[in-house]
Amino acid sequence: MADIVVLGAGLGGTLVSFELIDQMRPGDRLTLIGQSGAYQFVPSNPWVAVGWRKREDVEVDLTEVARRMKIRLLTMGARRVHPAEKRVELENGESVSYDYLVIATGPDLAFDEIAGFGPDAHTQSICQTGHAEKAHVAFEAFCRNPGPLVVGAVQGASCFGPAYEFALILETELRRRRLRDRVPMTFVTAEPYIGHLGLDGVGDTKGLLESEFRQRHIKWITNARVTAVTSAKMMVDEIALGGSVQASHEVPFTYAMLLPAFRGVPAIRGVEGLVNPRGFVLVDEYQRNPTFPEIFAIGVCVAIPPTGATPVPVGVPKTGFMIESMVTAVAHNIGALLKGAPVSARPTWNAVCLADFGDGGVAFIAQPQIPPRNVNWAAKGAWVHLAKVGFEKYFLRKIRSGESEPFYERFLLDQLNIHKLKEPQIDETPHA
């Protein structure tokens, strides 16, 4: 009999729990530790922030799902992982021992690294559904008294897609409200160019996104290092290749949302041999920690080096597609160990993304995610929005039912069919 503990009840942690059930032997026990009993579909947070979705539309109560699947769900969160003792210390002072541990915590949001930054200061966030709800309240107030608007991602960020989505969804909503002509928009990003995405671009994401910004009259600042934020201004240094300050900007705003840098959560940060200096978990090709081989990691908490040097630090995103491949590899590797076999499953680390713009969007496929690639493709069209709406409905149904099938890769590759995309003749609004 083995005790398997999954730390983190987000995308990776929930899915790996579902897939582990099929790998476990009679008598093995599975514990899922989260900070609450609610699963949030984070890709829908931009819609929550403009009022196109409500919290109840994008959340799933895991309590009944876990009970039905015979998963012990603990919702008090973890204080510290003690790898040498093979235990997780909980926030209530109790501990859970493990034979195998899967770390799927997601990131700690480093708002405190910039003065005046974050949802408890002067900027909004869409990283969590609670943040997105607060951003929606602020957006409604903004619409009553519109002014300059800033969206983007700060130095050290590794998740850029949602920033582009939110900028363009906001632009779409402002046009619908007949307010766009009163709102100057600026996109501020640490990326070396528009469409870099932390991946050195995918297909022609540079051209596609620059074109979209020009068409929608959105200005941009790249190689941006945000130094401080006040209630009405953002101080931004534009950094040259050698690291010198090429230009300094004081960007005015009435509403701002910038994605933060990520770091490892406090429960694992600083654990020698487990994490890098930033607190991300070190793993081998099997998603297994080299120092503590009974520990695996998946998702945003995994350490991945950047694609190359940039004037301002830019991290590598861990997309949903990539995370699902990690999930399947970890579940099969733990299953093999339970049966006395060696680990052999490797994740694909491919990327397939749907970036919604409210009235269209951009899709891209990167195989593998880190260049050079075998497939390097991007395209835009109204069909992308429809595909994202459909995927949201599918994925939430999957979580509610406890399905373990790693459907993401097959669906997006087979149905999009890479180079044979056709736009569906359907008119559906984001409110549907």
- Active site (catalytic) residues: 159, 353
DSSP string covering 133-191, please? HHHHHHHHHHHHS---EEEEE-TT----HHHHHHHHHHHHHHHHTT-GGG--EEEEESS
Picking from 257, 253, 250, 220, the residue whose alpha carbon sits closest to that of residue 148 is 253
The CA distance from 268 to 281, in Å, is: 8
Q: And the tokens for 314?
A: 């830019």
3-state secondary structure of 384: helix
* Displacement of CA 247 from its chain's centroid (Å): 30
* Type of residue found at 37: G
- The span from the CA of 406 to the CA of 86, in Å, is 29
Q: What angle do CA 186, 182, 53 make, to 5 degrees?
A: 75
- Nearest one of 275, 237, 226 to 105, comparing CA atoms: 275
How far is the CA of 393 from the CAs of 66, 128, 260, 328, 386, in angstroms?
20, 19, 28, 22, 11
- For residue 31, the cross-strand partners are 5, 72
> Residues with Cβ < 8 Å from 64, sequence gap 6 or more?
none
**d(Cα 156, Cα 396) in Å, to the nearest integer?**
30
Structure tokens at 382: 């109204």
